[in-house]
Amino acid sequence: MEKTQHKPHCLILPYPIQGHINPMLQLSKRLADKGIAITFAVLENVLSSTDDAFSASISVETISDGYTAATRAAALPPEYLPAFRKAGTESLAQLIERLREGGRPVDCVVYDTFLPWGLAVAKRLGLLGAAFFTQSCSVNIVYYSLFKGWLKVPEVGKEVLLPGLPELGVADLPSFLLDRETHPGSFELLVDQFEGVEDSNFVFVNSVYELEEEATDWLKKFMSVKTIGPTIPSMYLDKRLQHDINYGLSLFKPDDTCMKWLQQQSPRSVIYISFGSMAKLQEQQMRELATALKLTGKHFLWVVRSSEASKLPRDFVGEASGQGLIVSWCPQLEVLAHDAIGCFITHCGWNSTLEALSLGVPMVGVPWWSDQATNAKFVMDVWKMGVRARPGEGGVVGHEELVRCVKHVMEGERSEEMRGNAMKWKELTKGAVDEGGSSDNNIQEFVSTMVGGEA
Ligand code: UDX
């Protein structure tokens, strides 16, 4: 790349789901703060959810996946992904051309690895390409080993030993390795993330080097990995930075009343429960959770998305009204940062896990699918700041097990040790994004390359 005469310009291409938009938008804000012009490319339906505060510093443009809001809802990955590839490739190239004609030429496409064709478009147009992985380096090692053929799916069934990782039991592996039939297309999506990645000029991972040093060092042998996490708004890492308090684009409407309610609770007394933006729990699992919450007698804040609400036990909402609050979506970062929160029952989506690590909140992991089981394994055995609840029949975690886990984390013999570890990771993740920290250095290195025109 030649030294640019204009302000360096990155086009950011996220996969259009909340758990992918959040970290990529946050990286965009960091890059914008460091003088990079940013265009955030999203689908039409995401556009209406953007927050004015962020769109003032970042331009937002649309690309197409070939669907309308109505047809997209019914599309499954095996048909959706190839259609998105085709329409996305065309519309992305057109967008880059439009920007060039409008005097805003793009220098680098930062593409979500769920959309590996973003790299092909960048290379065809002579631009730099930077991959962005929303999952941890450790999970990347599992998928990359499958991609390279070093790990064979039929072998999966016994313990797996991979470089840079602790021994992983079957239950610790990302779910789609064993569960391909239930979610067709998902396994291929995850493995295909590595298409062309060795040729990407940069490979961003939303993780923190100090959380997984060995895994990161091993991956670096094959690709230009740069850990840049945690990608959470600066206010949560430095209270003085009040201008950056939320992600800036929410596909769900947060219910802020819970913050007032939390204000009335004593420190470390509340259980926060959320399963992210996608999980569809079995009705039985919702019943077990409700029973467990009642049995603990503790205050709770439970996020039940509108699409899941009909699964709540009929009497529970009324019965529990004195004990807890159920909301359809909340400002999760504000909640986790509140000192009333004593523990987080989580599906261990990577964003939620990293957010809890960064805000020092011990976890009870109840993984649902994808990388979540592997994240839960690390929470319990590597970072030692929580436990993973053991599922019973049909994969459902029973209420007794849930009560045991909550007590273990909030008041058990090892609860202080876990909280101590949580505080340690909180400090460490903050250090990574502070000036001169591992993630800040990686971002700075990228920015310097963009400004200096060398890659
Ligand atoms: C998905 C996958 O399921 C996950 O396994 C993968 O690691 C990333 O993409 P999702 O299931 O939505 O994401 O979970 P998670 O990664 O935790 O992301 C959810 C995001 O929504 C978090 O940033 C969280 O702060 C936010 N959130 C969640 C809210 O803002 N409010 C809520 O009420 C719940």
The phi-psi region of residue 61 (left if phi > 0; otherwise alpha if psi is between -120 and 50; otherwise beta) is: beta
Angstrom distance (rounded) from CA 36 to CA 106: 11
**Residue 52, pLDDT score:** 73
Whether 330 lines ligand 1, by a CB cut-off of 6 Å, is yes
Instruction: Kindly state the helix (H) or strand (E) to which residue 112 belongs, with its residue range.
Output: strand 108-112
- Could you state, in chain order, the average pLDDT of each consecutive group of 10 residues for the chain (455 residues)? 76 97 94 95 88 80 94 90 97 98 97 98 98 98 96 82 94 89 89 96 98 98 97 81 81 93 97 97 97 97 97 91 94 96 98 97 97 98 98 95 98 96 96 94 96 73
Integer angstrom CA distances of residue 225 from 140, 221, 446:
11, 9, 11
pTM here is 0.96
Neighbours of 245 (CB within 10 A): 16
CB contact at 8 A, 295 and 316: no
Is 112 a known active-site residue?
Answer: yes
ipTM: 0.98
Tell me which of 9, 20, 299, 399 is the catalytic residue: 20
Nearest-CA residue for ligand 1 atom 18 is 19
Is 299 a known active-site residue?
Answer: no
Q: Is 186 exposed, middle or buried (0-12, 13-18, 19+ CB in 10 A)?
A: buried
Residue with tokens 């699409």: 307
Whether 374 lines ligand 1, by a CB cut-off of 6 Å, is no
**Residue 53, pLDDT score:** 66
Ligand 1 centroid – CA 135 distance (Å): 11
CB contact at 8 A, 337 and 359: yes
* Long-range contacts of residues 282-285, Cβ cutoff 8 Å, at least 24 apart: 282/394, 282/395, 282/396, 283/311, 284/394, 284/396, 285/366, 285/396, 285/397
Give bridge partners of residue 365 from the DSSP assignment.
346, 388
Residue 388 sits at φ, ψ, to 5 deg, of -105, 125
Angstrom distance (rounded) from CA 21 to CA 81: 17
Among 82, 87, 50, 51, residue whose Cα is nearest residue 68: 87
161 token code pair: 């030993």
For 272, the 3-state DSSP assignment is strand
